[in-house]
Amino acid sequence: MSSYKKIVLIDIRNDSECMEKYLISNNKLISIYNIPMNNIAFNKKWILELSNDAFVYIVCKSGNRSEKVKNTYFRDIQNIISLEGGISNIKIFEGIAIIVDRGGLGKIQYLQFSFLVILLTIFLLIILHYSRIDMILILSLIILFVIYQLVTKTCYIEKIIPLYQTSI
């Protein structure tokens, strides 16, 4: 092995997989990034830059997708490594914990849910014959509320409908 001290884990699982089981690092020398497999091509240059001074491990659920990413984008790069066995083999790294959740909504699902609420609101407003000004005001408030939650990274819907539950 080389003299690299830093380790970067690139978790290529999709949002819903990461909500069910995600990784956290208590080790200052290990960084973890979630870049879904379909976004690796867009991040290839950045990942190559990371590999200049760190070992980069590509992680998925079983090791199959990470092997495919390694062979497709980083075949000849020695310090970009596909983690055999996937996330279940993550215990080889000291200071990494796997947090198991029930799953839940990721950002994309939350945005889709919010969009659905907006569409249903428009539909109801049209059926109930609200004036255009009332419709614009109500929809603007809903949209601002959704944007506020995304910017502040809070979810008020979660207080009504539990989206996920952490258990260590």
Q: How far is CA 145 from the centre of its chain?
A: 22
DSSP 86: G
Residues recorded for the chain: 168
Q: How confident is the model at residue 166 (pLDDT cuts 50, 70, 90)?
A: very low
The sign one gets for the Cα dihedral 109, 111, 115, 120 is positive
Q: How far is CA 72 from the centre of its chain?
A: 22
pLDDT digits (tens, 9 = 90+) for 72-121: 999 999 999 999 999 888 888 888 878 776 555 566 667 667 777 877 88
Distance, CA of 61 to CA of 4 (rounded, Å): 26
Helix ranges restricted to H, 14-81: 15-20, 40-50, 64-73
CB 62 within 8 A of CB 84: no
Note the pTM of the prediction, 2 decimals: 0.61
Amino acid in position 43: N
pLDDT digits (tens, 9 = 90+) for 127-147: 787 777 877 888 788 788 877
Q: SS3 for 81?
A: strand
Q: What pLDDT is attached to residue 22?
A: 78
Which helix (H) or strand (E) is 107 found in, with range?
Answer: helix 107-127
